[in-house]
Amino acid sequence: MRFPPNTDSKRRSLLKFLAGGAVVIGTGLWNLLPACARQAIASRFRTNTVEKKNFRFDPARGEIVWKDGRREPYRLVLDGLVETPASLTYAQLRALPQLQRTIDFHCVEGWSVENVPWGGVAYRDLFAKVKISPQAKYAVFHALGQTESLGGLTHYVESLPLRDLMNPAMNTLLALDMDGAPLTDERGAPARAVSPFDLGYKGCKFVTRVEFTAEPTLGWWTRANPIYGVYAPVEKSRLRTPDPRGG
């Protein structure tokens, strides 16, 4: 794809700026990138999932469409150590303040994708929908759909410390968008946990429930691969920005 000389020069400058390590950009700035540049991000982002492909998500209607054709409204449940559980529709998630973050993704397999543009909801805004008990120290993310049965689990589960999710320096979010558009099924639609300073397996896709607990939960990936622990910070050598947690 070729552009007129002046336009091409401006676009190259913008790409250079993004590659230089901008941490947060707005959706408007991201949309200035040519479609081929946005597709390049997607092509470098491999698709890994353990869920059975028996459903898809319709973002226009906020509905889960099962393989047999059944439709049902998507809902995100917040429960566990809370005074009163809450249940939010896709439209209600979209009505919360939306933010954009361009951050790196680090897979447990050793590959990384730089400058991935996510959009979604800050956990502070999401968790304000419930009154969390002081005993709660972790958020356990439960995925929609089914996996092969493993250690009593039939769906993907991962936990993250509340202190990390509530710390703005950690750049976490519940992602609803990638590349300026709703998440695709391959990327974990309708919602995906993003925690850039943790290895990718901690980022549960297809999130349908967040359970607040006093202790961390042994996740699906750790049960399948015991060499990987409940805590999974990215190795310092792979980070372009220091982990705010130090260590």
Q: Which domain holds residue 102?
A: 8-46+61-235
**Domain harbouring 109, CATH code:** 3.90.420.10
State how many domains the chain has: 1
Within a domain: 244: no
40 pLDDT tier (thresholds 50, 70, 90): low
Within a domain: 242: no
* Closest among 41, 15, 64 to 177, alpha carbons compared: 41
Within a domain: 229: yes
Which residue's entry shows tokens 């920005």? 241
Q: What is the pTM of this model?
A: 0.82
Within a domain: 68: yes
The answer to whether 115 and 19 have CB atoms below 8 angstroms apart is yes
Highest mean pLDDT among 32-46, 79-93, 220-234: 79-93
pLDDT on residue 72: 97
The set of residues, in sequence order, having a beta carbon less than 8 Å from that of 110 and lying 6+ positions away, is none
Within a domain: 137: yes
Tens of pLDDT, residue by residue over 203-240, are: 999 999 999 999 999 999 999 899 999 999 999 999 99
* Closest among 51, 84, 125, 73 to 212, alpha carbons compared: 84
